[in-house]
Structure 1
Amino acid sequence: MSASLSRPARVGVWLVGARGSVATTVVAGCAAVTAGLRPPTGLVTETPAFADAGLPDLASLVFGGHDTTDCPLPKRAEHLAAGGVLPPGLPAAVAAELAAADREIRPGGPLPGDTRDEGELITAFAADIQDFVRRHGLERAVVVNVASTEPAPTGPGLPPSSLYAAAALRAGCPYVNFTPSTGLHHPDLAPLAAGGGLPYAGRDGKTGQTLLRSVLGPMFTQRALAVRAWSGTNLLGGGDGASLADPAAAAAKNAGKERVLADTLGSAPEGEVHIDDVPALGDWKTAWDHIAFDGFLGTRMILQTIWQGCDSALAAPLVLDLARLVARAHETGLAGPLSELAFFFKDPVGEAPSALAEQYAELVRFARRLGEGA
């Protein structure tokens, strides 16, 4: 058999927000793991439970995307390395892969002064994706939204995240919303999502505070401990910190955090989540939770947690996991909301449990189905 015939089929990953910190870490991280420069730490799909799921190899992934900024990926990677997000020397080691992905990034929108209407924007975005698939001879492509959080829409018309989501389906591509933004959740897109014959997943990747809540909430319920109040604070910088300084965007982000508690505890406790933009933190974040609960005989007790992490390093492996799982789901003919991927999201589509352990069990069963050809 010739080398061209034996080469594994290639799969595209089209990133909305392709020059952001998460997308840059996705591209650099995939290249580093593929080359054996770094272990696949944080990649759920590289664990034994997924070995027989028929997922596309990391080496088969080809990256492109949309963005409204023009900072090249190699330069962005250098900034991330300077901030401690990427290991020293990694941007230089994977410079060719970063440059290749950067050449596949197309201008997003709408930008100030853009006179195109919604239909024209969707058509243009879809054409970019289709051109990417055609030029690279890809078997399929998955569109993943990793752009900064946008405010919930308040008026008529589709927000940018929904324009990109509509373009993904127009291009015949599965769609993943890793952000709290509206995406396919806009009511005007419901018929398109239902009739498109494509799998989709989302929304809002679960990387830190909510991940911990989805573990601790069930613990209190299962041990019959009464939670009286649960308050939290997030300190973060970077693009997400700036975008979440907008109260409307923060409200969209917090909705998923609060829903996890209501679902796992059976009712919503007192308390709120506050998000503070601290530009000096860059791509790092700190999440603090204060939990007041009652024990036996009404004894009042407190649990406090502190989560300090790098948002891009937490998110990037999950984006790769999702791209591989959704591509395989598409290959096996699955369509509609993939509730089995709730493990990755704060606000998952479809009907799914809220406790992390139950979500993981669902995910492993899903991997078995994919291995059997669904």
Structure 2
Amino acid sequence: MKPRTGIWLTGARGSVATTAVTGAAALTAGLHPPTGMITETPPFADVPLPPLDTLVFGGHDTTSCPLPKRAEALAEGGVLPHGLPAALHAELAAADAAIRPGGPAPHDPRTEDELIAAFAADLTAFTREHGLARTVVVNVASTEPAPSSPDDPLPPSSLYAAAALRAGCPYVNFTPSTGLHHPRLADAARTAGVPYAGRDGKTGQTLLRSVLAPMFAQRALAVRAWSGTNLLGGGDGAALADPGAAAAKNAGKERVLADTLGALPAGDVHIDDVPALGDWKTAWDHIAFDGFLGSRMVLQTIWQGCDSALAAPLVLDLARLMARAHETGVTGPVDGLGFYFKDPDTGPSGLPDQWRALLALADRL
């Protein structure tokens, strides 16, 4: 019997998690090709990653809507193919049965350490009950505001991250939330002996920025201003209506430009909640730049896509890569995964350089 690998999703009943679980089941059943999964392309053919049919899903969530019903709602919104949730009902129900209540709930009497211990116990029980070789924790929950002070209570993302460390699980932060980046977790992250990666998955506007910014830099074209607008609905739109959450999101978008261009150009990124868009989003960029002899020019881009469908294959990629990294004894921030993140722990910011670093990681694994 082939060893099995757990994927524990924080935010397990959200759109990204539901799409990832449904997608893994659909690929295993041969119902759809692995479009968007980099680990299923030729450069990774010789990397002994956990096969898709050996992945077992569970997670934490604060909502109670079961995965089969959540998948049906996504199909109605055009995110998933019609009929797919019904065809995969058994697989979705099995994953839903492994989801445990998240937290902390309002007025939860438990201390931070008690919450961390409870979440870690859920992870340990999941790994043991399913006979898993290892479990990778991936945070795909809604974006939270960054703490205003290191002395504030740990935000939920950091409680879950600390639980992953305590349970000896590799950890991926696919969101802009604090997670392992909280200063109070620095010592634990350094000594836990597990690989980790983050943060904030690069799926749309910032993916395009990481391609275009190196072009301007390499062609010696002076960028005077780079402004952007995001229109999105669903859970992300509602979460990012909070100014603190939007600021956490925009920090990664700005880092790509500042690192690549040497300084952050003038201009802001606005995020607007448009509930009618559901799980779809539109991102618009306006780039003002100077050419030879000061000639002033403009490049505008429009990106329209479904964030869950863009993110889900990356979540599966990262979980498989982190499982393999853990198997080979890698610890700490994993070099070579910046290709997937707006605000990576290590490595360059430009997508071509990040791609080369990812291929180098594949060779090491």
Q: Give the deviation of 1:113 after TM superposition.
A: 3.0
Match of 2:361 among 357, 366, 369: 366
- Supply the AA of the counterpart residue of 1:230: W
Matched, 1:271 2:271: no
Contact 2:228 2:285 in 1 (8 A): yes
In the aligned structure 2, how far is the partner of 1:93 from the partner of 1:185?
Answer: 40
List per-residue Cα deviations over 1:89-132 (Å, max 9, x = no partner).
Answer: 11011111100000000000001231111011000000000000
- Supply the AA of the counterpart residue of 2:230: N
Contact 2:2 2:54 in 1 (8 A): yes
Matched, 1:163 2:139: no
- Supply the AA of the counterpart residue of 1:204: D
Specify the alignment match of 1:4 in structure 2: none
Match of 1:124 among 109, 118, 140: 118
Contact 2:335 2:361 in 1 (8 A): no
In the aligned structure 1, how far is the partner of 2:67 from the partner of 2:296?
Answer: 51
Identity of aligned residues (%): 77
Matched, 1:313 2:309: yes
List per-residue Cα deviations over 1:34-93 (Å, max 9, x = no partner).
Answer: 111000000000000001111100111000000000000000000000000000111011
Matched, 1:134 2:128: yes
Specify the alignment match of 1:302 in structure 2: 298
List per-residue Cα deviations over 1:155-212 (Å, max 9, x = no partner).
Answer: 4220000000000011110100000000000000000000011000000000000000
Specify the alignment match of 2:86 in structure 1: 92
Q: Give the 3-state SS of the residue equivalent to 1:63 in structure 2.
A: strand
Residues 182-221 of structure 1: matches in 2 within 5 Å? 182-221=178-217
Match of 2:17 among 23, 41, 49: 23
Q: Give the deviation of 1:304 after TM superposition.
A: 0.2
Residues 60-99 of structure 1: matches in 2 within 5 Å? 60-99=54-93
Match of 2:139 among 136, 145, 167: 145
Which runs of 4 or more aligned residues in structure 1 lie more than 4 Å from their structure 2 counterparts after TM superposition? none
Q: Give the deviation of 1:340 after TM superposition.
A: 1.1
* Structure 1 unpaired stretches of 5+: 1-6
Q: Give the deviation of 1:265 after TM superposition.
A: 1.0
Q: Give the 3-state SS of the residue equivalent to 1:339 in structure 2.
A: coil
Q: Give the deviation of 1:233 after TM superposition.
A: 0.2
Q: Give the 3-state SS of the residue equivalent to 1:297 in structure 2.
A: helix
In the aligned structure 2, how far is the partner of 1:179 from the partner of 1:339?
Answer: 18
Contact 1:339 1:348 in 2 (8 A): no
- Supply the AA of the counterpart residue of 1:131: A
Residues 330-345 of structure 1: matches in 2 within 5 Å? 330-345=326-341
Specify the alignment match of 1:238 in structure 2: 234
Q: Give the 3-state SS of the residue equivalent to 2:214 in structure 1.
A: helix
List per-residue Cα deviations over 1:299-328 (Å, max 9, x = no partner).
Answer: 111100000000000000000000000000
In the aligned structure 2, how far is the partner of 1:112 from the partner of 1:298?
Answer: 57
Specify the alignment match of 1:3 in structure 2: none
In the aligned structure 1, how far is the partner of 2:88 from the partner of 2:224?
Answer: 50
* Structure 2 unpaired stretches of 5+: none
Contact 1:225 1:294 in 2 (8 A): yes
In the aligned structure 1, how far is the partner of 2:352 from the partner of 2:81?
Answer: 31
- Supply the AA of the counterpart residue of 1:51: A
Q: Give the deviation of 1:224 after TM superposition.
A: 1.0
Matched, 1:357 2:352: yes
Q: Give the deviation of 1:133 after TM superposition.
A: 0.3
Specify the alignment match of 1:329 in structure 2: 325
Matched, 1:50 2:44: yes
In the aligned structure 2, how far is the partner of 1:321 from the partner of 1:8?
Answer: 19
Scaled by the length of structure 2, what TM-score is found? 0.99
Scaled by the length of structure 1, what TM-score is found? 0.96
Contact 1:218 1:264 in 2 (8 A): yes
Specify the alignment match of 1:248 in structure 2: 244
Specify the alignment match of 1:178 in structure 2: 174
In the aligned structure 2, how far is the partner of 1:117 from the partner of 1:169?
Answer: 18
